[in-house]
């Protein structure tokens, strides 16, 4: 049986847990615990109704002996907890990959994995085509552009909110164009996929990111990869509904996390 623990109990975690329960027909997965902040403990306990252990420290989560810990709580959670998880020899699934735009943090954690035999696992999230881009990368990748397009109000609370009148945007408007490293740092809740695409391809500085507000895509969040390599090109677009409680995040991010956990229990892995 695969023992799984989660960091965070927000929209992504709730969707993922529901889908794991729905598709784990053979009951091969046991969710052993959820880590939340102390001020969220009572709320999480009430929501889970004793079905899953709720803890407030990473030490207590590790004591539950999970095989894998999945982060569902933002970039800060990666910086705060990844080291402890990996030092314990436990694999770590990362949703908030923008934290790894920090080279010092990423290289430190990679070093821990090399010494302890633990691994970082990164679901594709709310995008498709990572497998195809990986193939192009092996053959010689020349250029990669990732474009994230969301309804204007999905960019509330970001730097774009200070530079643009989001409520007044009536047509496609580019909010940001630049390298993945800068996008992931400036837009930590919106542009984690920028880091995922960069890590799978040309890196944080050579991967071009465009962040776009467009009322025409509502209610979807749209991610698009345009890549060119020595042996071909890749263009893929994924349209996903936002998570019910968080318009900045696509619900497919949670589905991708659930799939990453479920697939390790399967005989045929695609």
Determine the average pLDDT of the residues in 130-157: 94
At 190, is the pLDDT very low, low, confident or very high (cuts 50, 70, 90)?
confident
User: pTM (2 decimals)?
Assistant: 0.90
Could you list the residue range(s) of the whole structural domain that residue 217 is in?
130-249
Which CB contacts under 8 angstroms, 24+ apart, belong to 22-28?
A: 23/258, 23/262, 24/262, 24/265, 26/265, 27/1, 28/1, 28/2, 28/265
Q: How many CA atoms lie within 13 A of 144 on its CB side?
A: 28
Residue 257 lies in a domain: no
116 and 179 belong to one structural domain: no
pLDDT at 138: 93
The model's confidence at residue 248, banded by pLDDT at 50, 70 and 90, is low
At residue 185 the predicted structure's pLDDT band, cuts being 50, 70 and 90, is confident
Q: What is the pLDDT of residue 71?
A: 97
Question: Residue 43 is part of a domain; what is its CATH number?
Answer: 3.40.50.720
18-44: per-residue pLDDT in tens?
999 999 988 999 999 999 999 999 999
Statement to judge: residues 146 and 59 lie in one domain: no
Clarify whether residues 137 and 112 are in a common domain: no
* Residue 89 pLDDT greater than 80, yes or no: yes
Do 78 and 60 belong to one domain?
A: yes
72, 96, 133: which is closest to 261 by C-alpha?
A: 72
Residues 86-109 have a mean pLDDT of 95
57 has pLDDT over 70: yes
What is the spatial distance between Cα 88 and Cα 102, in angstroms, rounded to a whole number? 22
The whole-number pLDDT of residue 64 equals 98
> What is the number of structural domains in the chain?
2
Going by pLDDT thresholds of 50, 70 and 90, the confidence category of residue 228 is: very high
Do 94 and 200 belong together in one domain? no
**In-domain check, residue 269:** no
Q: Do 87 and 168 reside in the same domain of the chain?
A: no
Query: Given this model, what pLDDT does residue 102 score?
Result: 92
Mean pLDDT over the full length of the chain: 93
If asked whether residues 118 and 150 sit together in one domain, one would say no
Which tokens go with 79?
A: 């910086």
**32 part of a folded domain:** yes
Is 259 a domain residue? Answer: no
Shared domain for 199 and 98, answered yes or no, is: no
Judge whether residue 210 has pLDDT over 70: yes
Share of the chain above pLDDT 90, in %: 83
Same domain, yes or no: 135 and 172: yes
Q: How confident is the model at residue 184 (pLDDT cuts 50, 70, 90)?
A: confident
Strand partners, 54: 34
CB atoms under 10 Å from CB of 233, counted, come to 12
Q: Within a domain: residue 200?
A: yes
Query: Does a structural domain hold residue 267?
Result: no
In this predicted structure, the answer to whether residue 87 has a pLDDT above a threshold of 90 is: yes
Confidence class for position 244, pLDDT limits 50, 70, 90: confident
Average pLDDT estimate for 257-266: 90
Same domain, 117 and 178: no
* Predicted confidence (pLDDT) at residue 153 exceeds the cutoff of 80: yes
């Amino acid at each position: 049986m695969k023992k799984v623990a989660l960091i965070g109990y927000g929209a992504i975690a709730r969707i993922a847990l529901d889908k794991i329960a729905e598709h784990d027909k053979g009951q091969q997965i046991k969710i052993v615990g959820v880590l939340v902040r102390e001020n969220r403990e009572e709320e999480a306990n009430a929501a889970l109704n004793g079905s899953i252990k709720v803890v407030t420290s990473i030490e207590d989560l590790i004591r539950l002996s999970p095989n894998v810990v999945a982060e569902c709580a933002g970039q800060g959670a990666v910086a705060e907890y990844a080291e402890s998880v990996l030092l314990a020899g436990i694999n770590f699934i990362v949703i908030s990959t923008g934290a790894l735009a920090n080279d010092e943090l990423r290289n430190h954690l990679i070093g821990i994995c090399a010494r302890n035999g633990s691994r970082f696992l990164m679901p594709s999230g709310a995008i498709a085509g990572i497998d195809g881009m990986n193939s192009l990368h092996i053959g010689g990748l020349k250029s990669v552009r990732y474009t994230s397009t969301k309804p204007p109000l999905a960019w509330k609370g970001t730097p774009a909110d200070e530079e643009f009148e989001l409520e007044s945007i009536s047509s496609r408007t580019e909010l940001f164009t630049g390298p993945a490293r800068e996008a992931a740092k400036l837009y930590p809740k919106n542009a984690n996929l920028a880091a995922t695409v960069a890590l799978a391809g040309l890196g944080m500085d050579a991967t071009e990111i465009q962040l776009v507000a467009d009322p025409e895509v509502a209610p979807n969040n749209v991610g698009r990869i345009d890549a060119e390599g020595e042996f071909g090109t890749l263009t893929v677009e994924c349209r996903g509904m936002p998570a019910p409680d968080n318009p900045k995040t696509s619900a497919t991010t949670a589905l991708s996390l659930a799939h990453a956990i479920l697939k390790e229990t399967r005989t045929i892995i695609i």
